[in-house]
Amino acid sequence: MLQTLWDGNHPRQAEYEALWDKYVPASGEADTRYGNVLRAYGRLIYDYYNNGFCNALDRGEITPFYSGFINDIHHFGYRMDDFRKWMVTQDYHDCDFDDKAAKIWNDIAEYILNGADRQDS
């Protein structure tokens, strides 16, 4: 299985955690766009791996609350169209916790981590 930030063993884990500590508050929205993008990624990956998207999907549709997180990442520049299509295929009782899912999460994470220099944009 691929290493992910969720598993805590990603090659860029320490960098991610340092950026999280710097930009994401303990609760609520961040003061910077970059902090909100990190927070959005964190909320999405948490709901996937902890809850099988049971909070993010309602009858096969992305809830408005989680759609906002997807939009934050999309507006940061990462095309989330394929993510949305994949997300609605996931079912609480039958999520694809496999290499394909890990690659999806890692691709988004790499884009976000590589955009750290754009944190205030």
pLDDT tens per residue across span 6-44:
999 999 999 999 999 999 999 999 999 999 999 999 999
**Residue 98 · residue 10 · CB < 8 Å:** no
**pLDDT-based confidence at residue 46 (cuts at 50, 70, 90):** very high
Would you say residue 107 has pLDDT above 90? yes
pTM value is 0.92
Rounded Cα distance between 111 and 14, Å, is 16
Extract the tokens encoding 18. 């340092």
pLDDT, residue 119, reads 56
In a domain, 49, yes or no: yes
DSSP state for residue 5 in the 8-state scheme:
T
Place of tokens 């790499």: 110
Number of domains in the chain: 1
Q: Residue 73 is part of which domain span? A: 21-118
In a domain, 38, yes or no: yes
DSSP-based three-state secondary structure for 117: helix
Q: Which candidate, 12, 71, 20, 63, places its Cα nearest to that of 42?
A: 20
In a domain, 10, yes or no: no
What φ, ψ does residue 61 adopt, rounded to 5°?
Answer: -115, 145
In a domain, 51, yes or no: yes
In a domain, 91, yes or no: yes
pLDDT, residue 120, reads 55
In a domain, 26, yes or no: yes
Would you say residue 121 has pLDDT above 50? no
Rounded Cα distance between 60 and 88, Å, is 6
In a domain, 3, yes or no: no
Amino acid identity at 62: I
The least confident of 25-39, 53-67, 106-120 is 106-120
